[in-house]
């Protein structure tokens, strides 16, 4: 086993003991802050933000595609710092624009320098809100009260058993239903206030870094953080993204707001649209939620809040694909792509799988199953709280957003995977994905509006350009072909009132689906239309329509499909998968660097090919 992971796993037992000894089920002097009267309704949705600035040079009423990243960790995240990352938010923004960044320079296993292959158009730093206080105390100011505490000394001793015990002991305090602060911030009011003050300081610095990096029309940044819900080892994490400068003074963390509804209630109270504040919350790694990610909808009181704040889902990232599982309900062979078996978190930490954590149970937490649950609400004549758009991201803990190049991936978790041997020891992980949005121009207001209307798509890393439209009133294939051949595509479709990805189709007529795609570096192979529908009882079914892309299509392809089995009485949605031709996976390149690894030898069973793809946000039928 690779040295970095050996240290990590050997410290886990001690970490678990430390949790028990510390009484992690108690908040100490901390009182829950989510105990205010329950709001029946969320803060009113202000609608799309208004961009009052001058039009950008590339402003386009038919919209441009912008590629970005909405899930990046820096040295302000405890788990990133503890694995050797020393780059702060300002460095992450610089990396996104082309600066070189050292990988895990604070680790015994540094990985050298890395650079993004192409700059991003937008991004957000999303450090874990729960541990901003400890990071501030332990790493920023040697004169700070608590800097020399044993807890802080261990954190700074990256790679040591003490650092592993303290780090994972801290993280595991999130697992009980009643999560608690680390010892450094627990036990007395003075400790608690010290950590809160440092959390406010780091949150302010995070905002300052976002503002300093924002270059209107060229590079958009968002103020953001991660709410790290982890009850019972079920990943319930959400990234909180704000539209502009109006943000709460302190992040709403999982320790004080230990459920999604408490997070949304806090946003409704403290992020008022009437005061210029607006936010969305993006869940990620529903593949590691032990099937629980969408259970929030079981409480009727939460559904308005879900619809208000949860408009996007992180569909693909470093810890796997969250679309669906093959050989499970609503699965198909195309789901067998970068799947991380069981709990991604358990695998990454080298822990045994949770009891009862079967693939059948896990499947209910995947996005397609969540979408089907939403359609069941529609079948019952209730509002659908699960109309999600899709994005990809990396979840990098190296402060290297968008670092997804298969041939040059240096890992995402500091010194624990900075070497080829370490990455090959966990071959189910991958470099992560990219978020794509269709917006009129590259500004906070325009991109945030695109996210709220779900005109987004996810990729597994490449930057293919993809559009999806649904059109009613198209008479036949000949008429559809003319729309595809439009030299100003999608102008004719837009002029005819067609619905783009993320939108809602309200016509009872049989729709035509149009997918327009331009390749990145690798030729495209096919388009797959995914149709998800339910009957009156809410029972869901899925149909996959595969459309080959001719080899002589060049850089661009437009395909169309008519849903001949369309039934307006059945709640339905459509999304597209656009697949490239197979190419070498990161594991192929790492095997070239470390050929002695068992799976790399002749006859080894490592997966060394990948068929990269994009997934569009769905179009929903709603009558």
H or E, element range at 102: strand 101-103
Q: How many helices (H) does the chain have, and how many strands (E)?
A: 18, 25
- Walk across the sheet containing 465-471 and list its strands: 499-500, 465-471, 512-518, 556-562
For the chain, give the mean pLDDT: 92
- Rounded Cα–Cα distance for residues 382 and 307 (Å): 12
H or E, element range at 613: strand 613-616
Residue 354's pLDDT is: 60
Q: What is the pLDDT of residues 230-247, one digit of tens each?
A: 988 899 999 999 999 999
- Rounded Cα–Cα distance for residues 162 and 14 (Å): 9
Count the neighbouring beta carbons within 10 Å of the beta carbon of residue 55: 12
Residue 4's pLDDT is: 42
Residue 233's pLDDT is: 83
Please state the domain extents for the chain. Answer: 35-150+178-459, 465-621
Do 501 and 616 touch, CB atoms closer than 8 A? yes
H or E, element range at 235: none
Pick the CATH number of 465-621 from 2.60.40, 2.20.25, 1.10.3470, 3.40.50: 2.60.40
- Rounded Cα–Cα distance for residues 258 and 227 (Å): 9
Interior angle at CA 84, CA 80 and CA 86, nearest 5:
80
* φ/ψ bin of 338: left (φ > 0), alpha (ψ from -120 to 50), beta (otherwise): left
Question: Which of the residue ranges 129-138, 186-195, 328-337, 536-545 would you say has the lowest mean pLDDT?
Answer: 186-195
Residue 110 has pLDDT above 60, yes or no: yes
Residue 351 has pLDDT above 80, yes or no: no
Question: Which of the residue ranges 127-131, 144-148, 460-464 would you say has the lowest mean pLDDT?
Answer: 144-148
* Residue 188: burial class (beta carbons within 10 Å; 0-12, 13-18, 19+): exposed
Residue 2's pLDDT is: 38
Residue 603's pLDDT is: 84
- Rounded Cα–Cα distance for residues 542 and 538 (Å): 13
Percentage of the chain lying above the pLDDT 70 cut: 92
Could you tell me the two tokens for 22? Answer: 């510390």
Phi, psi of 36 (to 5 degrees): -70, 165
Average pLDDT over residues 360-384: 95
Q: What is the pLDDT of residues 260-270, one digit of tens each?
A: 999 999 999 99
The larger pLDDT score, comparing residue 348 to residue 201, is at: 201
Q: How confident is the model at residue 600 (pLDDT cuts 50, 70, 90)?
A: very high
Q: 13: Cβ–Cβ under 8 A, 6 or more apart, which residues?
A: none
Q: How confident is the model at residue 118 (pLDDT cuts 50, 70, 90)?
A: very high
- Rounded Cα–Cα distance for residues 61 and 10 (Å): 57
Do 372 and 534 touch, CB atoms closer than 8 A? yes
Do 293 and 361 touch, CB atoms closer than 8 A? no
Q: Which residues pair with 226 in a beta bridge?
A: 128, 239
Residue 460 has pLDDT above 90, yes or no: yes
Could you tell me the two tokens for 100? Answer: 């070189």
Q: What is the pLDDT of residues 551-566, one digit of tens each?
A: 888 899 999 999 999 9
Q: Which residues pair with 524 in a beta bridge?
A: 580
Average pLDDT over residues 377-395: 97
Residue 345's pLDDT is: 52
Q: How confident is the model at residue 168 (pLDDT cuts 50, 70, 90)?
A: confident
Q: What is the pLDDT of residues 50-67, one digit of tens each?
A: 999 999 999 999 999 999
Nearest to 472 by CA among 449, 499, 453, 454: 499
The larger pLDDT score, comparing residue 35 to residue 462, is at: 462
Residue 9's pLDDT is: 43
- Walk across the sheet containing 224-227 and list its strands: 224-227, 238-242, 279-283
Name the DSSP class of 255: T
3-class state of residue 465 by DSSP = strand
Nearest to 290 by CA among 363, 362, 349: 362
Phi, psi of 622 (to 5 degrees): -145, 110
* Residue 315: burial class (beta carbons within 10 Å; 0-12, 13-18, 19+): buried
Average pLDDT over residues 74-81: 98
Residue 6 has pLDDT above 70, yes or no: no
- Rounded Cα–Cα distance for residues 220 and 150 (Å): 40
Residue 299's pLDDT is: 95
Residue 140 has pLDDT above 80, yes or no: yes
Residue 186's pLDDT is: 86
Residue 28's pLDDT is: 32
**Burial per residue of 552-579, b for 16 or more beta-carbon CB atoms within 10 angstroms, e otherwise:** eeeeebbbbbebeeeeeebbbbbbbbbb
Residue 88 has pLDDT above 80, yes or no: yes
Residue 421 has pLDDT above 70, yes or no: yes
Q: What is the pLDDT of residues 294-310, one digit of tens each?
A: 999 999 999 999 999 99
pTM, two decimals, is 0.94
């Amino acid at each position: 086993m690779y040295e970095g992971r050996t240290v990590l796993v050997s410290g886990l037992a001690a970490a678990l003991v430390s949790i028990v000894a510390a009484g992690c089920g108690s908040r100490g002097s901390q009182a829950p802050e989510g105990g205010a009267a329950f709001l029946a309704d969320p803060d009113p949705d202000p609608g799309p933000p208004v961009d009052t600035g001058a039009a950008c040079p590339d402003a386009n009423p038919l919209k441009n595609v912008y590629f970005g990243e909405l899930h990046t960790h820096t040295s302000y995240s405890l788990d990133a710092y503890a694995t050797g990352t020393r780059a702060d938010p300002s460095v992450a923004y610089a990396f996104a624009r082309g600066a070189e960044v050292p990988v895990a320079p604070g680790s015994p296993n540094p990985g050298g320098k890395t650079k993004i292959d192409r700059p991003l158009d937008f991004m957000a730093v999303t450090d874990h809100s729960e541990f901003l206080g400890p990071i501030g105390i332990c790493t920023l100011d040697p004169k700070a009260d608590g800097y020399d505490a044993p807890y802080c000394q261990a954190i700074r001793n990256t790679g040591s058993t003490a650092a592993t015990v303290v780090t994972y002991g801290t993280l595991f305090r999130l697992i009980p239903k009643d999560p608690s602060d680390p010892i450094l911030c627990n036990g007395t009011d003075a400790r608690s206030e010290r950590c809160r003050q440092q959390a406010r300081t780091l949150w302010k610095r995070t905002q300052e870094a976002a503002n300093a990096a924002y270059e209107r029309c060229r590079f958009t940044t968002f103020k953001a953080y991660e709410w790290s819900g982890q009850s019972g080892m079920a990943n319930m994490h959400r990234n909180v993204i704000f539209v502009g400068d109006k943000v709460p003074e302190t992040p709403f963390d999982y320790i004080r707001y230990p459920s999604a509804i408490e997070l949304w209630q806090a946003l409704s109270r403290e992020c008022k649209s009437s005061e210029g504040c607006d936010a969305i919350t993006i869940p990620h790694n529903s593949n590691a939620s032990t099937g629980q990610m969408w259970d929030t909808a079981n409480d009727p009181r939460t559904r308005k809040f879900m619809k208000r704040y949860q408009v996007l889902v992180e569909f693909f990232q470093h810890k796997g694909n969250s679309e669906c599982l093959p050989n499970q309900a609503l699965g198909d062979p195309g789901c067998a792509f970068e799947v991380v078996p069981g709990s991604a978190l358990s695998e990454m930490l080298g822990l045994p799988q949770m009891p009862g954590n079967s693939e059948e149970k896990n499947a209910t937490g995947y996005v397609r199953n969540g979408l089907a649950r939403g359609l069941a609400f529609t079948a019952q004549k209730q509002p659908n709280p699960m109309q999600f758009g899709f994005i990809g991201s990396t979840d990098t803990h190296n402060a290297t957003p968008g670092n997804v190049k298969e041939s040059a991936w240096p890992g995402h978790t500091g010194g624990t995977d900075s070497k080829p041997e370490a990455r090959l020891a966990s071959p189910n992980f991958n470099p992560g994905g990219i978020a794509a949005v269709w917006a009129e121009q590259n500004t906070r207001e325009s991109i945030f509006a695109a996210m709220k209307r779900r005109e987004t798509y996810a990729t597994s890393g490449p930057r293919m350009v993809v559009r999806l439209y649904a059109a009613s009133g198209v008479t036949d294939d000949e008429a559809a072909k003319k729309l595809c051949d439009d030299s100003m595509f999608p102008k004719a479709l837009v002029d005819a009132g067609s619905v783009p990805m993320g939108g809602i189709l309200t016509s009872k007529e049989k729709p035509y689906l149009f997918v327009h795609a331009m390749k990145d570096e690798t030729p495209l192979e096919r388009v797959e239309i995914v149709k998800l529908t339910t009957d009156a009882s809410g029972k869901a079914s899925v149909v996959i329509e595969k459309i080959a892309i001719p080899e002589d299509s060049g850089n661009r392809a437009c395909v169309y499909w008519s849903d001949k089995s369309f039934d307006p009485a059945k709640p339905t949605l459509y999304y597209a998968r656009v697949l490239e031709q197979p190419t070498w996976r990161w594991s192929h390149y790492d095997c070239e660097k470390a050929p002695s690894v068992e799976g790399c030898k002749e006859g080894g069973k490592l997966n060394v090919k990948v068929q990269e793809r994009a997934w569009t946000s769905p179009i929903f039928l709603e009558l």
